[in-house]
Amino acid sequence: MEKAFKRKQKGNLARAFYRFKKNPLSLIGLGIILMMASMAIFAPFIALYPEDAGGAVHFKKMFQPPSWKHPFGTDEVGRDAFSRVIFGSRISLMLGVVVLSVAVLIGVPLGLFAGYFGGKVETIIMRITDIFLAIPPLVLALAVTAVLERNLQNSMFAIAFTWWPWYARLVYGETLSKKEEDFVEVSESLGASRLYIIFREILPNMTSPLLVKITLDMGYAILVGAALGFLGLGAQPPTAEWGTLVSLGRIHLPKMWWLSTFSGLAIFITVLGFNLLGDGLRDFFDVEVE
């Protein structure tokens, strides 16, 4: 019987992959994400001038337009813009991963507790969540960075701080419907502990909406992170962060158009990749996530 079950599972996986393959857009999205991830991992080998990612200075070759030697041109102190964009992928992807890990680690348990226990726990957790949701995320993140020192870690913290309530609310809603189902009642009558039911019975049943939301949010978190960087509230120069690069390049517009253009394009393509994949996953799991 175990064998039959395994075969069936394999059949499901194959069918799932077939369905996934039928949507070329999500495959493109996956391709983009894999490309960006390998760019981030192998940055020192892809970048033509790895030392330019930091505060190197080559005054002899400043403000060169794109050429074969410098595909994206050079900046105000002669650093290779291409290398800086490549290294920027590390920061943006890390920011996305860190922000969402924190948001999920805080939001998911809170949502589960609020939904499962109900009563006072629910009131306290969900009202706090409502307060956070009453202020647009980017505004709240800005307000948080105002009290902190301006650097990359703090901007990640600020974004994560505004992000967890969305997960609390999503998980809360899912928990409310899941806890009425038979399998929960069965484990309750078998004497399973509450924590066991919450984390081993209810949580695994909401993996697909969570996965879809995390994928879509990776893109949005990267956008917000880049926006903070652009406003000068995130990573500080000379760190090569995409939003910061756009903002630094803007000073030299319109003549040195290449500085802002390519780093912005990198943000766009990365976010597009996560959106395409997230949308494909949503169709694939057939779930509704706001």
Partner 1 sequence: MSLVTKRDVSKDLIQRLPATLELVVAAMAIAVLAGIPLGVLSALHKDRTIDQLSRIFAFAGVSLPRFWIGIMFQIAFAYSLGLLPITGRITGDPPAHITGLYLLDSLLTRDFPAFMDSFKHILLPSITLSLSPLAQITRLIRASMIEQLRKDYTVVSRIIGMPENLNIYKYMLKNAFTATLTVIGLLFGWMIGNAFVVEQVFSWPGMARYGVNSVLRNDFNAVVGVTLVIGVGYVLINFIVDLLYGYLDPRIRLKK
Chain residues that interact with partner 1, rule: CB under 8 A: 25, 134-140, 142-143, 145-147, 219, 223, 226-227, 230-233, 243, 246-247, 250, 253-254, 257, 260-261, 264-265, 267-268, 271-272, 275-276, 279
Task: Tell me how far, at minimum, the Cβ of 126 lies from partner 1, in Å.
Answer: 16
Residue type, 86: I
Task: Tell me how far, at minimum, the Cβ of 267 lies from partner 1, in Å.
Answer: 5
Task: Tell me how far, at minimum, the Cβ of 127 lies from partner 1, in Å.
Answer: 14
Task: Tell me how far, at minimum, the Cβ of 271 lies from partner 1, in Å.
Answer: 4
What is the Cα–Cα distance from 145 to 152, expressed in whole angstroms?
10
Task: Tell me how far, at minimum, the Cβ of 87 lies from partner 1, in Å.
Answer: 18
Given the complex with partner 1, which of 50 and 232 has the nearer CB atom?
232
Given the complex with partner 1, which of 156 and 223 has the nearer CB atom?
223
Nearest to 53 by CA among 80, 93, 92: 80
What is the Cα–Cα distance from 67 to 96, expressed in whole angstroms?
32
Given the complex with partner 1, which of 132 and 285 has the nearer CB atom?
132
Task: Tell me how far, at minimum, the Cβ of 15 lies from partner 1, in Å.
Answer: 23
Residue type, 15: R
Secondary structure letter of residue 90 according to DSSP? H
Given the complex with partner 1, which of 138 and 176 has the nearer CB atom?
138
What residue has token string 């939001």?
A: 107
What is the Cα–Cα distance from 131 to 276, expressed in whole angstroms?
31
What is the Cα–Cα distance from 106 to 111, expressed in whole angstroms?
9
Nearest to 158 by CA among 245, 228, 236: 228
Nearest to 207 by CA among 289, 277, 271: 289
Given the complex with partner 1, which of 134 and 190 has the nearer CB atom?
134
What residue has token string 């390049």?
A: 249
Given the complex with partner 1, which of 109 and 165 has the nearer CB atom?
165
